[in-house]
């Protein structure tokens, strides 16, 4: 009897051990999850339905599983503000274009909000283009025209910052960007006209590095026509010297994003000449010395690798 009891106890002990191991494994599996990558977090968060669609469509999700990344994540509201309101609008673009846009939101290093230096800082994105981080102090940080509205979300492979606009990738130098932007054909023709008379200005505009950036207040085509240059041929036959002075008056040394612009006077590249900027709520106007009325920025923050372009509705007169 004692032997039978001993055998039973032994069997129960073994069974108990097996149950303990099984329960321990089950508990571990249910409570300890693998850390989520940036891709995992985006795919599981309902506020990123359009971003999720863009990732799935373009195949960019794998790239966002790499190590040591920062991802600036536009939520659905950011897509709406940027004019992308449906998955159909995303799939209407080429897959490579969508992937390039998402890689432009990515840095190959984990960067927390506190690590971003004050002022404007050029950074190279995973798409090999330049973006500008603008730390204005007090926790207010922008990347290009997008404000970081929720910073420092930790992921297994880096950091997510939620932003309020979708970023548009830079497409090269200021000169290249002007040449490739709709409604700047007159400005492009004017720059071509002054190429031989002011090569140093063209060189500065065509710089592909982020060093010595410029801010360009770019008159749209209608602005040139209203100012007297009614046709492209009028630009092509105008005095190169006159055009050179006029265009220099529309450019400022340094990079001034829309978020940096403040009311006051700013020195232009035309020697001893300033423009006057007025910021009222969301409207920014610029007035030249001889303008009766101020010009208004119609499109802000077109990013180039060596600066930024703000499209305005009048030609500024020095």
Is the CATH number 2.30.180.10 carried by domain 38-163? Answer: yes
Q: Can you say whether the dihedral through the CA atoms of 258, 306, 181, 124 is positive or negative?
A: negative
pLDDT (tens digit, 9 = 90+) per residue, 29-68? 443 456 799 999 999 999 999 999 999 999 999 999 999 9
Residue 17 in this model has a pLDDT that exceeds 80: no
User: What pLDDT score was predicted for residue 211?
Assistant: 84
User: What pLDDT score was predicted for residue 171?
Assistant: 86
Q: Nearest-5° angle of CA 208, CA 211, CA 215?
A: 85
CA distance 143 to 131: 7
Provide the whole-model pTM: 0.85
174-312 shares the fold of 38-163? yes
CA dihedral 259, 291, 270, 201 (to 10 degrees): 70
Strand order in the sheet with 130-135: 106-107, 69-74, 158-163, 146-155, 141-143, 130-135, 119-124
User: What pLDDT score was predicted for residue 25?
Assistant: 44
SS3 content of the chain, % helix, strand, coil (to 5): 40, 25, 35
Lowest model confidence (mean pLDDT) among 142-146, 205-209, 298-302? 205-209
Q: Provide the 3-class DSSP secondary structure of residue 220.
A: coil
Strand order in the sheet with 295-304: 251-253, 214-219, 307-312, 295-304, 283-287, 274-280, 264-267
User: What pLDDT score was predicted for residue 34?
Assistant: 61
Query: What pLDDT band is residue 15 in, cutting at 50, 70 and 90?
Result: very low
Lowest model confidence (mean pLDDT) among 14-18, 185-189, 194-198, 303-307? 14-18
Percentage of the chain beyond pLDDT 70 is: 89
- Show me where the domains of the chain are located: 38-163, 174-312
> CATH assignment of 174-312?
2.30.180.10
Query: What pLDDT band is residue 282 in, cutting at 50, 70 and 90?
Result: confident
CA distance 159 to 121: 18
pLDDT (tens digit, 9 = 90+) per residue, 208-254? 888 899 999 999 999 999 999 999 999 999 999 999 999 999 999 99
Return the higher-pLDDT residue of 33 and 313.
313
Tokens linked to 81: 């503000």
């Amino acid at each position: 009897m004692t032997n039978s009891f001993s055998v039973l106890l032994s069997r129960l002990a073994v069974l108990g051990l097996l149950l303990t191991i099984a329960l321990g494994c089950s508990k571990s599996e249910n409570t300890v999850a693998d850390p989520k990558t940036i891709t995992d977090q985006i795919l599981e968060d309902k506020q990123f339905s359009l971003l999720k669609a863009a990732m799935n469509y373009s195949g960019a999700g794998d790239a966002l599983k790499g190590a040591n990344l920062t991802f600036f994540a536009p939520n659905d509201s950011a897509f709406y503000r940027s004019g992308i309101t449906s998955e159909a609008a995303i799939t209407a673009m080429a897959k490579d274009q969508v992937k390039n846009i998402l890689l432009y939101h990515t840095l190959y290093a984990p960067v927390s909000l506190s690590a971003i230096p004050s002022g404007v800082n050029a950074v190279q994105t995973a798409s090999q283009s330049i973006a500008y981080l603008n730390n204005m102090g007090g926790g207010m940080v922008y990347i290009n025209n997008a404000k970081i509205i929720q910073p420092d979300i930790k992921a297994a492979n880096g950091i997510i910052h939620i932003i309020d606009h979708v970023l548009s990738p830079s497409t090269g130098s200021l000169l290249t960007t002007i040449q490739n932007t709709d409604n700047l054909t007159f400005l492009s023709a004017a720059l071509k006209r002054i190429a031989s008379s002011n090569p140093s200005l063209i060189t500065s505009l065509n710089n592909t590095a982020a060093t010595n950036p410029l801010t360009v207040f770019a008159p749209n085509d209608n602005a040139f026509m209203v100012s007297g240059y009614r046709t492209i041929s009028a630009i092509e036959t105008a005095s190169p010297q006159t055009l050179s002075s006029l265009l220099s008056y529309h450019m400022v040394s340094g990079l001034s994003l829309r978020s940096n612009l403040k009311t006051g006077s700013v020195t232009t590249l035309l020697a001893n000449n300033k423009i006057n900027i007025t910021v009222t709520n969301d409207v920014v106007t610029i007035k030249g010395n001889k303008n009766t009325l101020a010009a208004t920025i119609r499109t802000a923050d077109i990013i180039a690798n060596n600066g930024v372009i703000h499209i305005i509705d009048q030609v500024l007169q020095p």
